[in-house]
Structure 1
Amino acid sequence: MCRMVGFCFETNQEINGFFEHLQRMAKMGKNAPHNHGWGIYALFDDAVIYYRSPKSVYEEELIPLKARVGILHARKASEHLPVSFMQLHPFIDNHGKAFCHNGTIYDIPFVSIESDTFSYFVKIKDFSSYEELAERIRNVAEGYRHTGMNFLMVNDDELIVYCGYSQNEDYYTLWYDDGWGFVVASEPMNDNFKPMENRTMLVVKDGRIEKVLRV
């Protein structure tokens, strides 16, 4: 159970407002507090910003930053999982992917880390097409009992967003604004944000939605 923000633009933009929204959600949003650590992964020109902290996100400050695509995550640990640095999102691989998740997937076998999110990432991250990714998500959803399978994934310079849940629509629905660039969050930042449909995946590049898939 977590709160997330993702963004994708054609050029570098100020992102501190997204950090502040994450702080508000973590401290005062739905099912608050989300105080078991936080993390960020973002791309700025040819540089990567990657930081994870066990502190509550609303106890930290972010230096002024610009980035083009990225994800932020504040963790609220599921009851059966440890609270440690190892469980903090986003997770990364060696191929330009970063991943964060909101929800709980029960009984999924752990891979290296006691984290349902990391196991979920491992099961879906090696795809050759978006249709294959959708199929991998579907296999996890059908194979394991879960509350939510929402995720944000940075894949090279694009953002992939999935909204999928089996309960608590009010909590798990993701909200997005594609009026100027693309921003997605666990709770809307303003009245311009629209709800995603359940079991829907968006592929976003240069701030524009390029593909919509039903899962």
Structure 2
Amino acid sequence: MLAKVSIFPTSIQEEMLLSPYSMQYLSKHGRLPEDPETHGEHNDGCGIAFVKNNQLEIHRRDKDHSWDYTFRLIVENAKSNLFIAHNRKAYKDLTINEKRSHPFLYQTFAFCHNGGVYSFMDEALDHGITDTEIFFKELLDKAENKSSQGIFNSLNNIANTTDYSSLTGFLMNNQELFAWRIYNTKNKERAQRFEDYYTLWLKNNKGSVVIASEPLDNGNWEKLPNFSFIHLKPTPDRIDQFRKHITITR
């Protein structure tokens, strides 16, 4: 996963195509959930969302067309101050097609997610959708006023009432980005593997902030701790960052 917030509209070519460990590179060489020390394909689909003319624009591809010429052309030409992007590695038995590729659109938000929400998996399988889509709808439907605090409270509730490997995700509208890292620590045997795999790394650049599931280069990246919640909002002269901590009470 990748997110970028900038003061002014900018390209995302560097992060998506040109960096040593770009999103295109990671679609073939990303860490694998079974063993984060190994690397392999995350090419069950791909997608990107960004703001254009004050509206969310989303482009997705299925497994057979992942990172095809038309998708790369969109990446090369897109300019925005808010982006999210995703390479999909599908959970077993879930449907693989363009509609199931991330990011998803619901109401006025786009969303992508890394992990499995086991509490939603049976419903997802029954309806031929993904656990992420159910998670997304649940998150927004119970977020009071769709405000930053409402989204935080809704996410905090889901983290305390569902069973999951990871809820780690990006949520954006046409004005702001929310990012969080949440993986399950209850199973001590899995906790270290989840710590190594379900990561988010943040890099502050001049005029922009980039968050990615793996560092895209050998620069100075901050590894966000588990249960981190960040709200990023660009203004004409800065990017406001608000950080909170998800509290697990069960």
| TM-score of the aligned structures, taking structure 2 as reference length | 0.78
In angstroms, what is the RMSD of aligned CA positions? 2.0
User: Matched residues, percent identical?
Assistant: 26
| Contact persistence 1:27–1:58 (CA under 8 A) | no
- Whole-angstrom CA distance in 2 between matches of 1:47 and 1:121: 19
| Contact persistence 2:119–2:164 (CA under 8 A) | no
Runs of 4+ in 1 over 4 A off after TM superposition: none
Distance 1:214 1:56, change over 3 A: farther
C-alpha displacement of 1:132:
2.6
- Whole-angstrom CA distance in 2 between matches of 1:28 and 1:148: 21
Aligned to 1:197: 225
Q: Residue 125 of structure 1: SS of its match in structure 2? A: helix
Which of 182, 189, 198 does residue 209 from structure 2 map onto?
182
Equivalent residues in 2 for 1:13-32 (5 A)?
A: 13-20=10-17, 21-31=22-32, 32=40
| Contact persistence 1:45–1:67 (CA under 8 A) | no
Query: Unpaired segments of 5 or more residues in structure 1?
Result: none
Aligned letter for 2:166? G
Query: Unpaired segments of 5 or more residues in structure 2?
Result: 33-39, 185-190
| Contact persistence 2:46–2:101 (CA under 8 A) | yes
Larger proportion of helix: 2
Aligned to 1:71: 84
Aligned to 1:11: 8
Q: Residue 133 of structure 1: SS of its match in structure 2? A: helix
- Whole-angstrom CA distance in 1 between matches of 2:178 and 2:7: 15
Query: Do structure 1's residue 138 and structure 2's residue 181 form an aligned pair?
Result: no
- Whole-angstrom CA distance in 1 between matches of 2:239 and 2:163: 33
| TM-score of the aligned structures, taking structure 1 as reference length | 0.89
C-alpha displacement of 1:10:
1.1
Query: Which has the larger displacement, 60-69 or 119-128?
Result: 60-69
